[in-house]
Amino acid sequence: MDTEPRYLYKLFPSTAPVPEPIPERLPVSDLDRESGFIHLSTAQQTPNTLKHFFKNEPLVYVLRIEYERVEGDIRWESPEADVCGPRPGEGLFPHLYNGLKLGRDEVESLAVWKNENGWEDTLKKVKPWLLY
C-alpha cells in the first residue's frame, strides 16, 4: 500500500453472529485457524471479499478495526490465487498475527449488512460506513 489505511475490516457470515457488546475474544473461523492468522480486508478489498466468499449469505457482520490498534501485528501478504482466483488491483491483504485474538480491544464498531438485492446494492447503501 502507498499509504496506511485508517481502518481494516473483518467479515463474519450469518451463521457466525457477532454478539453485542463485542466480547473480549470472538470465535475464530476454520480458515483463520488453519492459516494461523486472521484474514482482514481494506475498504477497497471488502467488496470483492463479499462477492467471492459471502456471495450467498443473506447477511454479514462487518467489524471495523482501527489500523493503529493492530498495526504492530499486521503483515501485508499476497492472497492465494487458488482460493478465489487473481484479484488484480487490490494489492496485498492485511493479515492479523496476534494469536488469533479479535474482540472488543481491536474492534472499533460493528455493522450488519443485508444482502437484499445483491451486494452491489448493499454496498451503495453502506458506503458512508466503509471508510478508507
Q: What is the CA radius of gyration of the chain?
A: 14
Q: Which domains does the chain have, with CATH numbers?
A: 7-126 (3.20.170.20)
β-sheet bridge partners, residue 16:
none
The C-alpha atoms of residue 96 and residue 70 are separated, in whole angstroms, by 7
Instruction: Tell me which residue has cell 446494492.
Output: 121
CA 7 to chain centre: 10
Cα 69 to chain centroid distance, Å, stands at: 15
- Among residues 116, 82, 130, 110, which one has the least CA distance to residue 19? 110
Rounded Cα gap, residues 129 and 132, in angstroms: 9
Tens of pLDDT along the chain (132 residues)? 568 999 999 999 999 999 999 999 999 999 999 999 999 999 999 999 999 999 999 999 999 999 999 999 999 998 765 555 555 567 899 999 999 999 999 999 999 999 988 899 999 999 999 999
